[in-house]
Amino acid sequence: MKVLVPIKRVIDYNVKVRVKADNSGVDLANVKMAMNPFCEIAVEEAVRLKEKGVVSEIVAVSIGPKAAQEQLRTAMALGADRSILVETDEAVQPLGIAKALKAIVDEEKPDLVILGKQAIDDDNNQTGQMLAALAGMPQGTFASEVNVEEGKVKVTREVDGGLQTVELKLPAVVTTDLRLNEPRYASLPNIMKAKKKPLDNKTPADLGVDLTPRVTIEKVENPPERQAGIIVGSVDELVDKLKNEAKVI
Amino acid sequence: MSVLVYAEHDNAALNKATLSVIAAAKEIGGDITVLVAGKGCGAVAEEAAKAEGVAKVLCADNDAYEHQLAENIGELVAEVAADYSHVLAAATTTGKNFAPRAAALLDVAQISEISDVVDADTFKRPIYAGNAIATVKCADAKKVITVRPTSFDPVAAEGGSASVESLDVVKDSGLSSFVGEELAKSDRPELASAEIVISGGRGMGNGDNFEILYKVADKLGAAVGASRAAVDAGFVPNDMQVGQTGKIVAPNLYVAVGISGAIQHLAGMKDSKVIVAINKDEEAPIFQVADYGLVADLFEAVPELDSKL
């Protein structure tokens, strides 16, 4: 069976984010970029399914700037067989991405789409669900365990109250949570091999989709700063402060 | 303007997060209708009808909605949404699951996890794990929105007298089915809405050591949470995680024990009213956001705290 793994190029999770002085956004100039961590988990899960013999082909796809091909090469170094870049310099938003992915799904006809539950830049947590709706597929979001069976997939989901398991008919969409797996690092030989794997370039026009943003960003600001308080010397002092100063116990 | 609020519940009782979503709906303005979808959820509908500011409750009671499967709820909400300018749900794992699905079916954007209402089209929301706050304006005729419950003071649970209408719309996709669930059972308050939260981090060492936190929590009537490090290490289950990808909490008192204060964790608790940090590493970043810091070995300080409460 075939798996499609959509990935996103984002600011590296170790980078301290700086809001631009003109409040137009976050400063991305000369900042280290990387594959979104939840997308790495998605790639890893697909690779593990291939290693188990459940999956025969992994196709990675990204919708974004030309530079996103770096992340697609990384996905291929980790085990994706080939990739597709839908190139656009537009500030893409989840609904547009989901429409582009729906067009790719129509072409590729994957049995399973595995993607990150959210990107660590916009924190939207929408794309997988929207793709599932547009493609008429069931969804297993926030997955901590994925078991593919004949014609279906069982997904254990991390929900507010604990864990929930659902059974989905294939084809289906799965979005990854943190504890699904621990992604591997790409080895140097695999990085070299990935350079020769096929990377197909497309445009939104090729797919016939409109990526025009529906939401405009009016401004981006720093969050209110929280000031450090005091260091207390003992548990007694702490209890006293909480009772008499903060009045919270 | 008219706002549809999707009720969060367990078929028996209304989740308090819904009262915060109703508060956000009041800020937007217009008539507020609450949609309760579930199985045997009549009591929830009656409860929702008493909430302050609610004009009408729609109750869709059917087997297809028992487990809040996104495939069915998404379709239901997309259909019911026809009569409303705004559709609001709590940014819980239930809301995050079905709301984008409903939005896509309506061919509109979703605005995720708003923390403030500027006007009927404009909202504030945290991005980059709360390291920046974006003000966003949505051009779509219909707005599908998830609301961060801790950012809005809940409306009163009592006093309203909305009408309850049963809604005979059945959406059963047949694409997904519920297999089972493992829900944490606890007599302590719910993490997301507790007045006091005490959380443990990697410094707890193992799951058994969380016992000392449970003791203090029971004296204070507090909920117990954990950092991602403690959950990843297998000390405690995922439903206890506080942070960007776990639960967002904003209690009156948050006590961080053996938690270093990674950005990921701070994103989930820095809106708490009073923050206490207990950590033996005086350089730990958690002290930069704590109102009261205690540099001490938690295995001495926490039992002492327990004895003095």
pLDDT for residue A225 is more than 90: no
pLDDT tier at B222, thresholds 50, 70, 90: very high
User: CATH no. for residue A141?
Assistant: 3.40.50.620
In angstroms, rounded to a whole number, what is the distance separating the alpha carbons of residues A114 and B181?
22
Q: If we measure between CA atoms, which residue out of A93, A80, A102, A109 comes closest to residue A8? A: A93
CA distance B225 to B193: 12
Residue type, A223: P
CB pairs under 8 A between A and B: 251
- A235 vs B98, B173, B294: nearest CB: B294
What's the mean pLDDT in B204-227? 97
Provide the pLDDT for residue A218: 97
A28-55 mean pLDDT: 97
d(CA A25, CA A219): 7
Q: Which of A141, A167, A220 is the closest to B97 by Cβ? A: A141
> For residues A152 and A79, is the Cβ–Cβ distance under 8 A?
no
* Residues B142-167: tens digit of each pLDDT: 999 999 999 999 999 999 999 999 99
> Which residues on chain A are in Cβ contact (under 8 Å) with B231?
179
pLDDT averaged over every residue in chain B: 96
- pLDDT-derived band at A40 (thresholds 50, 70, 90) equals very high
The rounded Cα B39 to chain-centroid distance in angstroms is 22
Determine the average pLDDT of the residues in A175-179. 94
Average pLDDT over residues A180-185: 96
Q: Is the pLDDT of residue A226 over 90?
A: no
A123, A136, A160 member nearest B126 (Cβ): A123
d(CA B50, CA A57): 54
The angle that helices A94-108 and A127-135 make with each other, rounded to 10 degrees, is 50
Q: What angle do CA B49, B91, B36 make, to 5 degrees?
A: 30
Q: What is the mean pLDDT of residues B186-201?
A: 93
H or E element at residue B277:
strand B274-279
B290 → closest Cβ in A163, A166, A228: A228
pLDDT of residue B184: 82
B204-209 — which CB contacts under 8 Å span 24+ positions?
A: B204/B230, B204/B235, B204/B257, B204/B258, B204/B298, B206/B235, B207/B234, B207/B235, B207/B236, B209/B235, B209/B299
| Residue-number span of the structural domain to which A184 is assigned | 2-214
Q: Tell if the CB–CB gap between B288 and A228 is shorter than 8 Å.
A: yes
pTM higher than 0.90: yes
Which fold does the domain B191-308 belong to in CATH? Answer: Rossmann fold (3.40.50)
Helix (H, G, I), strand (E, B) or coil at A89: coil
Cα angle value B143/B149/B151 (rounded, 5°):
95
Task: Give pLDDT, residue B187.
Answer: 87
Q: Which of A162, A105, A195 is nearest to A115 (CA)?
A: A105
| B196–A249 C-beta distance less than 8 A | yes
SS (H, E, C) B135-170: EEEECCCCEEEEECHHHCCCCCCCCCCCEEEECCCC
In angstroms, the CA B246 to CA B267 distance is: 10
Flag whether A238 is in a domain: no
Q: How far is CA B92 from CA A123, B120, B176, in A?
A: 14, 22, 20
Q: Of A142, A133, A176, which Cα lies nearest the Cα of A7?
A: A176
What is the Cα–Cα distance from B104 to B258, expressed in whole angstroms? 42
Cis peptide before A171 (omega within 30 of 0): yes
SS3 A62: strand
Are the C-beta atoms of residues A60 and A76 closer than 8 Å to each other? yes
Beta strand A199-202 pairing with A82-87: parallel
Residues 6+ apart with CB under 8 A from B88: B3, B4, B5, B6, B21, B24, B25, B28, B145, B146, B147
Residue A170 lies in a domain: yes
| pLDDT for position B186 | 83
Is the Cβ pair A129, B177 closer than 8 Å? Answer: no
Distance CA A20, CA B100 (A): 29
Probe site for chain A from B10, B71, B253 (most A CB atoms < 10 A):
B71
Nearest-CA residue of chain A relative to B263?
Answer: A16
pLDDT band (50, 70, 90) for residue A228:
confident
Q: Which residues of A touch B295 (CB under 8 A)?
A: 231
Contacting residues of B for A235, CB less than 8 Å apart: 294, 296, 301, 304-305, 308
- Domain ranges in chain B are 2-166, 191-308
pLDDT of B14 strictly over 90: yes
What are A113's strand-pairing partners?
A: A4, A173
Q: Quick check: A238 and B107 CB within 8 A?
A: no
Residue numbers in A near B8 (CB within 8 A): none
Please state, for a pLDDT cut of 90, what percent of chain A lies above it: 94
Rounded to an integer, the average pLDDT of A134-156 is 98
* β-pair partners for B143: B86
* Sequence-distant contacts of A145-153: CB under 8 A, at least 24 apart: A145/A180, A146/A45, A146/A49, A146/A114, A146/A174, A146/A180, A148/A1, A148/A49, A148/A54, A148/A55, A148/A112, A153/A112
Taking CB atoms and an 8 Å limit, are B181 and A159 in contact across chains? Answer: yes
Chain length of chain A? 249
Residue B279 has pLDDT above 90, yes or no: yes
d(CA B120, CA A141): 29
What per-residue confidence (pLDDT) applies to B247? Answer: 93
- Please list every residue in chain B whose beta carbon sits closer than 8 Å to the beta carbon of residue A234: 294
CA–CA separation, B6 vs B25, rounded Å?
11
Q: What is the mean pLDDT of residues A39-59?
A: 98
- State the CB neighbour count (10 A cutoff) for residue B304: 15
Q: Is position A144 within any domain?
A: yes
- Note whether B2-166 and B191-308 share their fold: yes
In sequence order, the 6+-apart residues with CB closer than 8 A to the CB of B128 are: A11, A17, A26, A120, A121, A123
Q: How far apart are CA A115 and CA A7, in angstroms?
A: 7
Contact B112 A124 (CB under 8 A): yes
- The mean pLDDT value for A197-210 works out to 96
Structure-block tokens of residue B37: 């979808």
Q: How do residues A65-124 score in pLDDT, each as one tens digit?
A: 999 999 999 999 999 999 999 999 988 999 999 999 999 999 999 999 999 999 999 999
Could you report the predicted ipTM of this complex, rounded to two decimals?
A: 0.95
pLDDT of residue B244: 85
The answer to whether the CB atoms of B192 and A160 lie below 8 A apart is: yes
A249:B270 CB<8 A: no
Please answer yes or no on whether B112 and A123 come within 8 Å at the CB atom. Answer: yes
CA atoms within 13 A on the CB side of B293: 21
Q: Which residue of A lies nearest to B220 if distances are taken between CA atoms?
A: A249
Half-sphere exposure of residue A95, counting CA atoms within 13 Å on the CB side? 23
DSSP annotation of A243 reads I
Q: How far is A48 from chain B (nearest CA, A)?
A: 20
Mean pLDDT of all residues in B178-197:
92
The highest-level CATH class for domain B2-166 is alpha beta
> From CA B30, how far away is CA B53, in angstroms rounded?
10
**A225 belongs to a structural domain:** no
Per-residue pLDDT, B31? 97
DSSP string, A168-189: EESSEEEEE-GGG--PPPPPHH
From the list B100, B129, B177, the residue facing A129 with the nearest CB is: B100
φ, ψ for residue B149, nearest 5 deg: -60, -35
Q: How far is B39 from chain A (nearest CA, A)?
A: 17
A171: alpha, beta or left, given left = phi > 0 and alpha = psi -120 to 50?
beta
Give residue-wise pLDDT tens across range B105-133: 999 999 999 999 999 999 999 999 999 99
Q: Average model confidence (pLDDT) for chain A?
A: 96
- In total, how many domains does chain A have? 1
Average pLDDT over every residue of B20-41? 98
Please say if the pLDDT value at position A227 is more than 90. Answer: no
Cα–Cα distance between A55 and A73 in angstroms, integer?
20
Residue A100 lies in a domain: yes
Would you place residue B245 in the very low, low, confident or very high pLDDT band (cuts 50, 70, 90)?
A: confident
